[in-house]
Structure 1
């Protein structure tokens, strides 16, 4: 009987030890990872000036992130997305291992353009910091976000249309859009019959094109291009020295919509 009792006590002790071991194995480690905290600029509204690309525009500053385990290099990415998009399609505009990143006017302008924000438009841009560790990356941590307002300028030549056929007359240009894929400029614009128009660079007359023969070819300082029918027009122009997008160099197309 005593032997049976000793056996039962021993069995219960082993079972208890196994049970305790199982409980320890099932415990999840408590993470003390800490995401970075974006500190500045909390507010920023800037019209970027293409005449001062090397000037300091702003500095993004954040607190370092913290990770459990072996200390290693933490990588930080500055992400832009359209405000209100909840970072559904963020674009990384800079990376660093520091806790700050300076941006010149030119660098901030390129960041906004690369993130898909249009030139000459005041865009509300949400900014956050993503941190990762290790050469293969890790589960990222994300900071809080701030919303800044930037009006970028085009990183390509700024061509526009001017003339008494256009809505703004000879007083100011209407800027054309640039296609990064076709390298063509285009605009959809309402034109008035009886007037004319020309193309000019950077809102000035030092570089301008007209059409001396009204044959869809562009000549420097050429004649005004006449409009004979009032309506909405799609105008596409190739100002380069090579054919692109199906248009010969220094030629344009005009389509009444």
Structure 2
């Protein structure tokens, strides 16, 4: 499979809450070489991969935007299932919960619930998100999504810019996309090494904290109505990420 095709698949993975881009890199056998080359600022061999990722993000972003506009509750329910199931992969390999870890998780949940903002809208936004939020969101999400087990899209949900980016993709808002892209470049160049070292050193504490953030931020994805189809879509999204995390766990062990 060439890098372009792998990039398109990675783009789809990165858009979905709960899916770890870093783990996908491991599955495709790209992670170690990619990290080494990124540290050396050697990106030329990965230009086809980057192009594929961008294409995958745009294709999946437009698809999700269309589906959300027409089936809002079903889409939110699916994404909620994906998001909650991702806690399994975030906590993979961590020690069992104790009082300290529980406190960290509760703190993360409270912060996530406060920070996440309004429910996803994917359109008709009355309040514009600042360029600073887009820039920081791009930096943190990109750096986080390269770390195996961490879903970068969850960072965007936490910061309240996940739906904004979908709208920007659908409407080809060049300014928003450029600001986000600039943040993504900074996250890759400057923050990746720092976050990787912190995660390696404080993996358990950060994992429980991030699991709490995910749980707290999920309040932005509660559907407005409940029905059997809505619940079924939630179960499908949950199962998709939950069972894919079994594959992710195997890849993390192999790494």
Pairwise same-fold verdict (TM > 0.5): no
Please give the TM-score of this superposition, normalised by the length of structure 2.
0.18
Give the number of the structure with larger relative contact order, counting CA–CA contacts within 8 Å between residues 6 or more apart. Answer: 2
Which is higher, the Rg of structure 1 or of structure 2?
1
TM-score computed with the length of structure 1 as normaliser:
0.18
